[in-house]
A and B are shown apart, each in its own frame.
Chain A
Amino acid sequence: MGYSVKIADLEKDKETIVSILERNRSRTDTDYAKRFDWIYLNNPFGRAKAWIIYNDDTGQEVGFTGVFPRPVFVNGKEYLAWNCGDFSIDKKYRALGVALKLRRAAKNDVDAGRVPFLYAHPNKRMEVVHLRVGHKKISEMRRFALPLKFDRYFKDRLPVEFLAKIVALPINSSLRLKYALKNPKNIKGQILANVECRPEHEALFEAMKKQFKVIGIRNCSFLKWKFADHPNFKYQQFDCYRGNQLIGTLFFTVKNQVVHLIDVLVNDHQADIIPLFARFINEVYKNKFAQALSFILQTNNPIIPLLKELGFKERNDATSSVIAYANEETNKQNATIVLNGANWFMTVGDRDA
C-alpha cells in the first residue's frame, strides 16, 4: 500500500491531467484541453504548478491538484500567492488519505517560504480535507440574487403562459420604475459585447487597492486573460460613467436569461456601487436579455449591504467555503491579515474556473 505525489511536468502530463478532470467532473460546457492551456500555461503571472498522485502498486495516476499564481495586494503591497483549484481524485480513492497527501503538497511550499500564502474555494467535502491539513476557513461564498421580471415565476405556477404574463406585468412595471427612479441623471452606462480594458480600468483597480486590505489583482493583464481570453465562456462588460469619469465596471455572462455577475471594478464602493448597479439594471431592462441578476460574493464583502439596499436577496444554493493558509510562525505579519476573511475583497471572479 503506497501513494506517491509528483510535481507534474505541464507539457508531458497535460493528457493525464485533462483525463483526470474529464472523468471526475460533470460540466458539459467546458473543453478541458483548451482550459488547460489557458489556466496552466497562459496565466499572465506565470505557469501553474500541479501535483499528480500515483498508486505505487499499479503506477496508475489516481488524482491531481493545481495552484494558479495570482498577485494579491496586502495593505497595498504585492505578493504572488496561489489560488488552489482543480482538486480531483478518482472515486475509489476518496478515503481521505490520498486527498490529505495531495493537499499537503501545496501547503509544504508555503511552509518552505516558496509562496507567501494560498487561498481556495472548496465545497463541503473538500473543506474537510483543507481543515485536516491545517488550512483555515476564513469565510464563505454566498449567492445574491435580484429578480427583475416575474414572468418565469408565474409561468411555473400558473397553467396558462398568457395568464402568467398578465399577472407578472404590473409587478415587472413597478420594479422597472423603481430602478429607473434610482438612476441619477448624470450617470451613463454602456454594455460592451467583448471585454476591453483601458488605462481608466487600471485606475479603478488602483483606487480599489486603497480601499481594501486584501485584494487580488484586477489589472488589464488579468482581466484580458480572465475574461477576453477564456476558452469556454463568453463574457461581457458594462462600463458606467459619471459625466466623463468611469466610476465602475461589471463583468458578466448571461445564461438561461440570468445575468451572472463575475466581478466588479469600482472607484469608490460606498459612493458608486448603487449608481453603477442601478444603471446596469436599467440597461438590462432596456436590452431585455435577462429576468434576474445573480452574484456570488464572499460574505464579508463590503458591497453586500449596498446590494441588499438595491433589493438583492441572499440565497443558500451556491455556498462554498473560503480557505486560506499562511505560515503563522514564519510569516506572522501577513498571516494575521490574510487569515481574517473580513480583510478581503472577494468575488466569484477570484476563483479561476
Chain B
Amino acid sequence: MDMHQQIINFLYDESLKDEFKELDYDDSLLELGIIDSVKMLDLIGFIEERFGVQVDDDDLYPENFDSINAIVNYINSKKNN
C-alpha cells in the first residue's frame, strides 16, 4: 500500500466519511476537521513508528501536515536526511 493510502487509513474517521469520500491529496486536513491537536499527537506516533522518522516539535506546522501530500513530502524529506 502506498504511503498516501496508509496515512488516509490511519486518519480515517467514520464520523467524517463524507470528507474522506472526496478527499484530494492537496485538501486541507485542518480546514476539513480531519486533524486537530489530539489527532496530531496520534499521527506523530504513527509516523514515527511506521516510517521510522523522528518528528520534532519544530516541524509541527501546517506546511508539513495540512494535506496528505504535505505529510508524504515531509516524511520523504526526513527519510532522505
Contact = CB atoms under 8 A, between A and B. Distances in A.
Nearest to B65: A95
Contact of A95 (B38, B58, B62): B62
B58 A94 contact: no
A1 B56 CA distance: 15
Contacts of B59: 97
Interface in B11-65: 28, 30-31, 35-38, 40-41, 57-65
Interface stretch (A26-34, A124-132, A221-229): A124-132
A92 B37 contact: no
Given A91-B30, A92-B30, A92-B31, A132 B41 contact: yes
B62 to A, nearest CB: 5
Given A91-B30, A92-B31, A94-B30, A125 B61 contact: no
Contact of A128 (B31, B38, B63): B38
Given A92-B28, A92-B31, A92-B66, A97 B60 contact: yes
Contacts, number: 54
Interface in A118-138: 124-126, 128-129, 132
Given A99-B37, A124-B38, A125-B37, A91 B61 contact: no
Nearest to B62: A95
Interface of B is mostly: helix
B61 A97 contact: yes
A93 interface: yes
B35 A94 contact: yes
B57 A100 contact: yes
Interface size for chain A: under 10, 10 to 19, 20 to 34, or 35 or more residues?
10 to 19
Interface in A1-59: 1, 3
B63 to A, nearest CB: 5
Interface string A305-348: 00000000000000000000000000000000000000000000
Given A124-B38, A125-B36, A128-B37, A97 B31 contact: no
A129 B37 contact: yes
Interface in A79-100: 91-100
Contacts of A128: 37-38, 40-41
A334 to B, nearest CB: 27
Given A97-B59, A124-B38, A132-B41, 18 more contacts: A3-B61, A92-B30, A92-B31, A93-B30, A93-B62, A94-B30, A95-B30, A95-B60, A95-B61, A95-B62, A95-B66, A96-B40, A96-B41, A97-B61, A98-B62, A125-B36, A128-B41, A132-B57
Closest 8 CB pairs of A and B: A97-B60, A96-B40, A96-B60, A97-B61, A95-B65, A1-B63, A128-B37, A95-B62
Interface of B: 28, 30-31, 35-38, 40-41, 57-66
18 contacts: A91-B31, A92-B31, A92-B62, A93-B62, A94-B30, A94-B35, A95-B61, A96-B37, A96-B41, A97-B57, A97-B58, A97-B60, A97-B61, A125-B36, A126-B37, A128-B37, A128-B38, A132-B41
Interface of A: 1, 3, 91-100, 124-126, 128-129, 132
